[in-house]
Chain A
Amino acid sequence: MTGSREAVLGRIRAALATAGPVAAQPVPREYDRRGALAPGSPEAIELLVDRLIDYRAEVQVVAPAEVTAAVARALGDAASVVVPRGLPDDVLAACEQDGRQVVGDLSEIPLTAAQLDGIDAVVTGARVAIALSGTIVLDGGPDQGRRAITLVPDLHVIVLRADQVVQTVPEAIALLDPTAPLTMISGPSATSDIELQRVEGVHGPRTLRVVIVG
C-alpha cells in the first residue's frame, strides 16, 4: 500500500458526515433473476444461436456423435492449433485431423505471445453461455486454458455442451467463481469507433466459431 490511504478515507467519512446520515435503503430486485427457458432447452439453444449469428459468429448445433466432424469443419484450413490440456478426446481428435499441427499449452512451459501469434487457431470448451445476450464465459478451467491462448490466435473454436446454456445474465453470474480469471465473449472482437458502424474482427480473434453439442 502506498499513498494517501488515511487522508482519502478520512475525506470520504467527513463528506458522508456533512451530507448527513443516509438511511439504508433496501435494494429492489424486481428484474428477472431467471428466464422462462430451462437451461439447455431447445428454445434456449435457439435463442443463443440467433444472438451469436447476429454478432457474425458461426454456429453449428450437432449431436454428440458428430462433435469430431463439426470441430474439424470449424477448424477449416487452419494448419496449426493450440489446445489446453483438458480437451475431451473427441474434440482433440478433430484437432489432429488433416495433418494439422497441434500445440499443447502446458503450465510448465507456456508458449510465448510470439509463439501464439504463429498459431492459426485455438479450440476450447467454456464454463457457461448466456442465450439472451449471446455471451460465452471462459473461466480458465482445464478445457479452456489460460487467457492468452484464446486471445492471440486468429480463429477461436468453442465447443459448448447444451446443458451449459442458460437464458439470462443473472443465471450465469450465479454459476461463476469470482476468484477465477473470467473472460466473457460475445462474438468476435469488434469496433464501432468509426461512425458508430460495427466492424467485426480487430485485435482479438477475428473469427469465432461455436459448436453446440446437444
Chain B
Amino acid sequence: MRIAIMATCLGDALFPDVVRATVTLLTRLGHEVVFPAGQTCCGQMHVNTGYLKEALPVVRHHVEVFSEADYDVAVAPSGSCVGSVRHQHAMVARRAGDTALTERAVAVASRTYELSELLVDVLGVTDVGAYYPHRVTYHPTCHSLRMLRVGDKPMQLLRAVEGIDLVELPQAEQCCGFGGTFALKNADTSSAMLADKIGNVLEVRPDVCSAGDASCLMHIGGGLSRLGSGVHTVHLAQILAATREQPVGAA
C-alpha cells in the first residue's frame, strides 16, 4: 500500500524520531511510504484556542496538500492531529461558508488514520514483529480514546510485542492535563492534572511511559524529567519499530 505520512508540526520539528519510527515500521511491513513535502500543521491549536479564522488558511493548506498528493491512505502518529482532521477541518470550512473546501476536507479525513487504526483496521496486523524488552505502561490519550475511539488497538499491538513487560496504568483514561494551550492558559490546573498522572505512572514502576501522541508525551515527559524520575517517554511508533537488530532504548 502507498501510505502518506503526516508528520504533524510537533513531530516534524521536535520529535522527528517518532515520525522516522513510523516510516521504519511501515516500510518493514512492506509498504511504500511517501511524504507530501508541502505539509505543515493541522491547525488544531488554532481551533482549540478559538482562533477559527486563523485556523482556516492552515486547514486549507493541509487539505490542498493531502488532496493533491498521490497515496492510498494517510497516517499520523497522533490521535489528536487525526482527530482534528476528522472532526474539525470540515467544521472550520463549513463555518467559513466554503462548501468546496468542506467536501475536500471530508474526503481527506476519510482516508486519514491514526497509527494504531491503520495497523489494526486497515492493514489487519497486530503482531508487527517488534522486540522491546522493557517494562512499559501506556497512557491512551483523550483524543485517541474519545474522538477517534481507537479502543484497545494500541494495547493489542503492544501485547504482541516480543519481550515487553506491559503494565496497566492506573486511572489510564484520565486526561494528562496537556490540552494544547490549556497547559499555558490554565497552567496551575494543568500541572495539578499532570502531577496525578505522573503519580499513577510512577506507581507501576515502569522503565517507559508510552502513548500514541507526541504532545501528551511531551507533557508527561516534561514532568517526569523535572522530577528526575528516571522514567522515560517513548512513542508507540518507536516501540513498534524496535527490533533485535534495530533496538530503541528505554532512554
A and B touch in the complex (CB under 8 A): no
